[in-house]
Amino acid sequence: MKKIIVCALVAFVSYTATAQGIFNKINKAIKKDSTTTSGGGLLGAIKNGGSSGTSGAGLSNADIVSGLKDALRVATDSTTKSLSAVGGYLKNEAIKIVMPAEAVKVEKTLRGIGAGALVDKAILSMNTAAENAAGDVGGIFLTAIKQMTVTDGINILRGGDHAATDFLKRTTTATLTEKMRPVIESSLKKVNADKYWNDAFSKYNLFAQQKVNTDLTAYVTGKALEGMFYKISLEETKIRKDPAAQVTDILKKVFGGK
């Protein structure tokens, strides 16, 4: 069985070659709302059409949500630029695309017999495909952000550390998949990775209890999106908790108390 698995994987691998400091103020405002009856704080400004003695004072709901949209725009722009750079996925251990869990034992066997370079080439091809696809999706995030309603914005402000990421995931995953899949497919086909993945793991799945997805493009696309939203969630957490600069005029206006 192990020999069949190793041969199958060898058949595949041998052919593969700022925005910061915004939500900290929001969280403080939310906490203030929960301890007062006057409707103060940022949520009070939202509820009352923009009358509050804290950040966001005198601003309308539209102004406040505009600031939130700008924060998300900067966060997603930073994410897509970093992931589309050479090594954007490959050099980030948290999101690097590796062999599926079902094939880890086979990978170890290959490395143990001196075939690690083949595995590395396979992993390189998958991560390069993801990086190629990440650079052209900023417009999808921008469209979703533009379509955000006041209700969406308020729910995000009231939500947890990843509420904005959850909003983007809910509203963009289908479109992102449609956009990224053909780019990833084209990149993998250049080294015949998709063909040999299918051939290798179709045979592997005949004997394995845990099946491997024979659609390499789908596997890489799913992992690429998973990594992208993970990176955005980190940006969101930083934005919520780090009291650093607001980088655009609307962010300063809404969240800087100016």
Cα gap 37→197, rounded to integer Å: 62
Q: What is the total count of domains within the chain?
A: 1
Asked whether the predicted pLDDT for residue 11 surpasses 70, the reply is: no
Q: Is there a domain that residue 97 lies in?
A: yes
Per the domain annotation, does 42 fall within a domain? no
In a domain, 160, yes or no: yes
The residue whose two tokens read 């004997």 is 207
d(CA 141, CA 73): 8
Provide mean pLDDT across the span 89-115: 86
Within a domain: residue 30? no
In percent, the amount of the chain with pLDDT more than 70 equals 69
pLDDT for the residue numbered 183: 96
**pLDDT higher than threshold 50 for residue 140:** yes
Residue numbers of the domain that contains 160: 2-17+62-255
Cβ neighbours of residue 189 under 8 Å, at least 6 residues apart? 195
Q: For 102, which DSSP code?
A: G
Neighbours of 101 (CB within 10 A): 9
> Mean pLDDT, the chain, as a whole number?
75
pLDDT at 27 over 50: no
Given a cut of 50, whether residue 46 has pLDDT beyond it is: no
pLDDT at 128 over 90: yes
Instruction: Give yes or no for residue 30 having a pLDDT over 50.
Output: no
Using H for helix, E for strand and C for coil, what is the string for 127-192?
HHHHHHHHCCCHHHHHHHHHCCCHHHHHHHHHCCCCHHHHHHHHHHHHHHHHHHHHHHHHHHHCCC
Residue 157's pLDDT is what? 74
Closest CA to 129 of 215, 216, 197: 216
Phi and psi at 91, nearest 5°, equal: -90, 0
The answer to whether residue 54 sits within a structural domain is: no
**85 pLDDT more than 70:** yes
Q: Is residue 32 part of a domain?
A: no
Residue 118 — very low, low, confident or very high, per pLDDT cuts 50/70/90? Answer: confident
Question: Residue 25 domain-assigned?
Answer: no
Residue 220 lies in a domain: yes
For residues 204 and 196, what is the distance between their CA atoms, to the nearest angstrom?
12
Q: Which residue has the higher pLDDT, 133 or 44?
A: 133
* CA gap 6, 12 in Å, rounded: 10
Q: Per residue in 64-75, pLDDT tens?
A: 787 778 778 888
Highest mean pLDDT among 11-15, 42-46, 226-230: 226-230
